[in-house]
């Protein structure tokens, strides 16, 4: 893939700035953000007063550690607009994330916020390889989810031709993809895997019918193995991007297509910390911990030290692509999505990793947890590939044994494997549901 520097870096002034310049900018913006939040949001003032910290106490970047955290609970307590720093008439847009329980998390944007967010996305999109010559099909849901509209405006700013299909309606997705000649696909990785399967079923050929070059995938955990599968099946170069509603949506970080070794963080507009989720102490660079983020640009909804609950590791080593910004590894999972099976911690991505390394599996799987007496049992249901489906019974038994062995050595846990027929597990059009916990239902 040949790309020139100018073509794949949207804002070199910030994306390639030296780290001292970034730090100076961060400190100025942090001081402004803290003063603004203290003056405008009673909940922040109360928390800071309780912690005995005033805006004037923030003199260095390290002083950020004296500030109280903001958590999902703070959003719940102030539902819907209690953390907002501007009156509703100054908002241009509201989004929300549904979550699994309770009230949705509500986020809002002023005109300036929407402009900054769009710039953040333009950077991420450019890093992922997309230019004004691309036809970009957005298969993220449009609506309260930040994915659809967020990517939409970012792609328009880059100058790409946007095809706003939204999620679902796979026939239409494939019709537009082939007839319009879409060159970029924007979706969750699990939906991309599903589209790939459906394209194959319909006999669509790469190069003749499907002309995709770029895949911009995010909003859920996925693995390198899954990236390999999607790239091969759709003939594209896939990059990972990460964000969350509370941080503004997508745009916090994204991989460069040139190197694909960690997601570049927009550090002039965010401060990151990685902490041990239990002790709250910073971990060393490169070690996995919980990501804590302070956005430095949000006028409608400033947030101090947000506990994302996502686990990642960060490096500040420069990237061969030319960017100087810190990079985060793939998110292993959320601390609250971690399964504890007979005392062993398991993230669904660890299982995906094993499945994707093994021939004969498809990218569609489900983890089923049951309680057998007082013991929790984890069973992995995985669809086998079409080619294996036509083979002998012994080939299936071999695969089942191989997977059980590999899962045991990767996790130190006996996990039952159930091979299921192709196209039998439920497909998701947005974020995949990988876990079926039957313990509560029993
Ligand atoms: O998922 C924002 C987004 C939209 C990101 C489009 C990327 C692309 P929420 O719905 O608030 O926002 O969900 C945020 O999703 O805390 C992570 O647990 C998970 N997540 C998001 N991106 C990734 C990723 C959007 N690349 C939650 N890898 C976050 C792993 C991700 N998990």
**pLDDT tens digits along 304-324:** 999 999 999 999 999 999 999
Question: pLDDT at position 7, please?
Answer: 73
C-alpha dist (Å) from residue 222 to 58, 182, 188, 228: 37, 23, 9, 11
Distance (angstroms) between ligand 1 centre and the Cα of 388 equals 33
* Intervals of CATH 3.30.300.30 along the chain: 339-441
Distance (angstroms) between ligand 1 centre and the Cα of 243 equals 5
Distance (angstroms) between ligand 1 centre and the Cα of 147 equals 9
Strands (E), 199-262: 214-218, 237-244, 249-255
Question: pLDDT at position 442, please?
Answer: 46
The CA distance from 130 to 67, in Å, is 38
Ligand 1 atom at minimal distance to the Cα of residue 140: 6
The CA distance from 311 to 328, in Å, is 10
Q: What is the DSSP string of 338-381?
A: -EEETTEEE-HHHHHHHHHTSTTEEEEEEEEEEEETTEEEEEEE
128 lines ligand 1 (CB under 6 A): no
Ligand 1 atom at minimal distance to the Cα of residue 246: 11
C-alpha dist (Å) from residue 52 to 47, 57, 58, 422: 9, 10, 12, 59
Distance (angstroms) between ligand 1 centre and the Cα of 343 equals 28
For domain 339-441, the question of CATH label 3.30.300.30 is answered with yes
DSSP secondary structure code for residue 70 in this structure? B
Any residues with CB less than 8 A from the CB of 121 and at least 6 apart, and which? 150, 151, 153, 154, 155, 157, 250, 251
Signed CA dihedral, 414, 416, 422, 428: sign only: negative
One digit per residue, the tens of pLDDT, for the chain of length 442 reads 455 555 799 999 999 999 999 999 999 999 999 999 999 999 999 999 999 999 999 999 999 999 999 999 999 999 999 999 999 999 999 999 976 667 899 999 999 999 999 999 999 999 999 999 999 999 999 999 999 999 999 999 999 999 999 999 999 999 999 999 999 999 999 999 999 999 999 999 999 999 999 999 999 999 999 999 999 999 999 999 999 999 999 999 999 999 999 999 999 999 999 999 999 999 999 999 999 999 999 999 999 999 999 999 999 999 999 999 999 999 999 988 899 999 999 999 999 999 999 999 999 999 999 998 888 999 999 999 998 998 889 999 999 999 999 999 999 999 999 999 999 999 989 999 999 999 865 4
Residue 94 has which token pair? 């509201």
Residue 63 has which token pair? 């002083």
331 lines ligand 1 (CB under 6 A): yes
Question: pLDDT at position 1, please?
Answer: 47
The CA distance from 353 to 349, in Å, is 6
Any residues with CB less than 8 A from the CB of 323 and at least 6 apart, and which? 9, 15, 16, 127, 256, 264
* pTM of this structure: 0.96
Residue with CA nearest ligand 1 atom 25: 244
Cis upstream peptide for 341 (omega within 30°): no
Q: Is 218:251 a contact under the CB 8 Å cutoff?
A: no
The CA distance from 302 to 32, in Å, is 11
Distance (angstroms) between ligand 1 centre and the Cα of 371 equals 30
Q: Is 245:108 a contact under the CB 8 Å cutoff?
A: no
Question: pLDDT at position 103, please?
Answer: 87
Helix (H), strand (E) at residue 135: strand 135-138
Distance (angstroms) between ligand 1 centre and the Cα of 146 equals 9
352 lines ligand 1 (CB under 6 A): no
Residue with CA nearest ligand 1 atom 6: 147
- Provide φ and ψ at 37, rounded to 5°: -65, -40
244 lines ligand 1 (CB under 6 A): yes
The CA distance from 119 to 134, in Å, is 18
* Intervals of CATH 3.40.50.12780 along the chain: 5-17+108-334
User: Best mutation site among 243, 252, 288, 328 for ligand 1, i.e. most ligand atoms within 8 A of its Cβ?
Assistant: 243
Signed CA dihedral, 291, 294, 296, 300: sign only: positive
Give ∠ CA 271-277-279 in degrees, rounded to 5: 105
Distance (angstroms) between ligand 1 centre and the Cα of 251 equals 10
Q: What is the DSSP string of 142-170?
A: PSSSHHHHHHHHHHHHHTPEEE---S--H
Distance (angstroms) between ligand 1 centre and the Cα of 81 equals 22
Ligand 1 atom at minimal distance to the Cα of residue 331: 30
Question: pLDDT at position 102, please?
Answer: 77
Q: What CATH class has 5-17+108-334?
A: alpha beta
26 lines ligand 1 (CB under 6 A): no
Q: Which residue has the tokens 């569609």?
A: 364
Residue with CA nearest ligand 1 atom 1: 219
Residue with CA nearest ligand 1 atom 29: 244
Burial class (CB in 10 A: 0-12, 13-18, 19+), 232: exposed
146 lines ligand 1 (CB under 6 A): yes
The CA distance from 161 to 20, in Å, is 37
**Three-state SS at 388:** helix
Q: What is the DSSP string of 79-107?
A: TTTTT-SS-GGG-SEEEEE--SSSSPEEE
C-alpha dist (Å) from residue 311 to 120, 130, 316, 337: 22, 28, 17, 11
Q: What is the DSSP string of 316-349?
A: -SPPTTS--S-EE----EEGGG-EEETTEEE-HH
188 lines ligand 1 (CB under 6 A): no
243 lines ligand 1 (CB under 6 A): yes
Question: pLDDT at position 373, please?
Answer: 85
328 lines ligand 1 (CB under 6 A): no
């Amino acid at each position: 893939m040949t790309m020139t520097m100018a073509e794949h870096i949207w804002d070199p002034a910030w994306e390639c700035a030296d780290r001292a310049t970034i730090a100076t900018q961060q400190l100025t913006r942090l001081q402004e953000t803290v003063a603004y939040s203290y003056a405008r949001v009673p909940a922040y003032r109360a928390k800071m007063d309780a912690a005995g910290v005033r805006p004037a106490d923030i003199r260095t970047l390290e002083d950020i550690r004296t500030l109280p955290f903001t958590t999902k609970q703070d959003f719940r307590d102030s539902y819907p607009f209690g953390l907002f720093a501007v009156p509703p008439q100054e908002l241009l847009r509201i989004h929300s994330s549904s979550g699994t329980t309770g009230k949705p998390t509500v986020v809002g944007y002023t005109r300036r916020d929407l402009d900054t967010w769009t710039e953040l996305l333009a950077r991420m999109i450019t890093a992922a390889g997309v230019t004004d010559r691309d036809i970009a099909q957005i298969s993220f849901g449009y609506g309260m989810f930040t994915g659809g509209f967020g990517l939409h405006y970012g792609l328009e700013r880059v100058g790409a031709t946007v095809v706003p299909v939204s999620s679902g309606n796979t026939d239409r997705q494939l019709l537009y993809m082939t007839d319009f000649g879409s060159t970029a696909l924007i979706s969750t990785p699990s939906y991309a895997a599903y589209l790939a399967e459906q394209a194959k079923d319909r006999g669509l050929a790469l190069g003749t019918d499907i002309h995709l070059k770029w895949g911009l995938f995010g909003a859920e955990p996925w693995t390198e193995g899954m990236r390999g599968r999607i790239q091969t099946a759709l003939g594209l170069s896939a990059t990972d991007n990460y964000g969350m509603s509370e941080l503004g949506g997508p745009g916090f970080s994204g991989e460069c297509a040139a190197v694909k070794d960690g997601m570049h963080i927009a550090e002039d507009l965010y401060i990151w910390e990685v902490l041990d989720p239990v002790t709250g102490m910073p971990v060393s660079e490169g070690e996995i911990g919980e990501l804590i983020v302070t956005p430095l640009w949000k006028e409608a909804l400033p947030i101090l030290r947000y506990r994302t609950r996502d686990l990642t590791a960060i490096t500040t080593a420069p990237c061969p692509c030319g960017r100087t910004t810190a990079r985060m590894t793939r998110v292993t999972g959320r601390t609250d999505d971690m399964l504890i099976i007979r005392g062993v911690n398991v993230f669904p991505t660890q299982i995906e990793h094993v499945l994707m390394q093994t021939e004969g599996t498809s990218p569609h799987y489900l983890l089923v947890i049951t309680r057998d007496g007082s013991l929790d049992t984890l069973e992995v249901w995985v669809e086998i590939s079409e080619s294996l489906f036509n083979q002998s019974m012994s080939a299936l038994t071999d695969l089942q044994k191989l997977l059980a062995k590999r899962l045991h050595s990767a996790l130190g846990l006996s996990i039952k494997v159930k091979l299921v027929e192709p196209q039998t597990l439920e497909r998701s059009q947005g974020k995949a549901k990988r876990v079926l916990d039957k313990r509560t239902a029993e």
